[in-house]
Amino acid sequence: MQILIVGIGALGGTIAGRAIRTGLPVRLAARNTDSAETLRRSGLRLSGIGGEVCADAIDIAAIEDYGKGDQFDLILLATKAQDALEVASYVVGLLAPEGVVLPIQNGGVARALADRLGEDKILGGFSNLGATMVEPGVYEQKNAGHLLIGELAGGVSERAERVARALGRAIEVKVSSNLIGAIWSKLLINCSVTTLGALCSQTMRQYMETVAGKKVFRRTYEEALSVALAIGTRLEWLTVDPIPPGWPSNFAAEERYESWVEAVIAFYGDIKPSMLQDLERGP
């Protein structure tokens, strides 16, 4: 399987480093020529959960330098969500006849791309893997997360299984038959953990040490949960049950709720939210 990873930020760089280490036939696409040249000189350095990787020789070019003669079975789209629509419209022309684009942004990116480009070209997915880009080419994996992929229409397909087998050589990949429910479960975390971390300039573990942090997390999570359930979403278990113990009003379950929070912190608590990383880097 010929693979192109587009966007070599925290997630794209981490996945690329793991893929190169295992010998996957992967090529990389940076946002412009200068970024590609910087990464070509530096290579990729990866530390943290999963072990160290040092990839000095990488096959990378600017996205616009890919064109006729380039065909890929899988294009992993790891750009920021706001760039995904424009980039996907270009890279879809680089697909082999049975190839797919796999966007791993949170929220409704995959659905928007499928509506524009066709579901036959788009496989849904998102990352539950936490990573930080220390500087271009240098990454730290913060948890033992995974990619979750699947069909937007639901069910399990042969192409999803095929992609999971290929990428599974580098990182853990799970296939969901209820991807929309899983996307909503992750969105509950995005609304609470990620957004609050960006507003506070802290990790979840840090802001949950305060009474105010605990209160705002709970109210934010439960408001997002209420919306998901109100529209009939069948939520999917990710790292914890998406519905906290005792929700919405069983205060007798408070001790079990605290244990649930601790499980969330154990997985997400030490990850610097990607939104916060963006704010710190600036425009």
* Cα 246 off chain centre by: 29
Sign of CA dihedral 77, 81, 82, 85: positive
Give the Cβ contact number of residue 239 at 10 Å. 17
Q: Which CATH class is domain 182-281?
A: mainly alpha
- The answer to whether the Cα torsion of 98, 158, 146, 16 is positive or negative is negative
CB 161, CB 175: distance < 8 Å: yes
What confidence category does residue 250 fall into, taking pLDDT thresholds of 50, 70 and 90?
Answer: low
Q: How confident is the model at residue 269 (pLDDT cuts 50, 70, 90)?
A: confident
Least confident of 43-52, 163-172, 237-246, 248-257: 248-257
Mean pLDDT value of segment 88-94: 94
Mean pLDDT of the chain: 92
pLDDT of 252 > 70? The answer is: no
CA distance 72 to 250: 52
**Cβ proximity of 159 and 125 under 8 Å:** no
What pLDDT does residue 251 have?
60
Above 90 in pLDDT, residue 169? yes
Residue 47 tokens read as: 């530390």
- Is 43 in contact with 58 (CB distance < 8 Å)? yes
| Bridging pattern class, strands 124-127 and 147-150 | antiparallel
Alpha-carbon gap, residue 94 to 26, rounded angstroms: 14
In this structure, whether the domain defined by 3-177 belongs to CATH 3.40.50.720 is answered with: yes
Q: Of 62, 67, 75, whose CA–CA distance to 15 is shortest?
A: 75
| Predicted local confidence at residue 139, as pLDDT | 95
Peptide bond into 25 cis (omega under 30): no
**Residue 68: pLDDT above 80?**
no
Domain residue ranges of the chain, discontinuous segments joined by +: 3-177, 182-281
Read off the pLDDT of each residue in 154-179 and give the average, rounded to a whole number: 95
Q: Is the pLDDT of residue 205 over 80?
A: yes
Residue 248 pLDDT greater than 80, yes or no: no
Is residue 113 within 8 Å of 92, Cβ to Cβ? no
Q: Do domains 3-177 and 182-281 have the same CATH topology?
A: no
Give the tens place of pLDDT for each residue, 112-150. 999 999 999 999 999 988 888 999 999 999 888 899 999
Task: State yes or no: pLDDT of 281 exceeds 90.
Answer: no
Least confident of 118-127, 140-149, 171-180, 245-254: 245-254
* Alpha-carbon torsion angle 155, 105, 90, 132, nearest 10: -140
- Looking at residue 274, its pLDDT comes to 79
Q: What is the mean pLDDT of residues 200-218?
A: 92
Following DSSP, what letter does each residue of the chain receive, concatenated?
A: --EEEE--SHHHHHHHHHHHHTT--EEEEESSHHHHHHHHHH-EEEEETT--EEE----EEEGGG--TT--EEEEEE-S-HHHHHHHHHHHGGGEEEEEEEEE--STTHHHHHHHHH-TTTB-EEEE---EEEEETTEEEE-S---EEEE-TTSS--HHHHHHHHHHTTTS-EEE-S-HHHHHHHHHHHIIIIIHHHHHHTS-HHHHTTSHHHHHHHHHHHHHHHHHHHHTT-----SSS-SS-TTTTT-GGGHHHHHHHHHHHHHHHTTPPPHHHHHHHH--
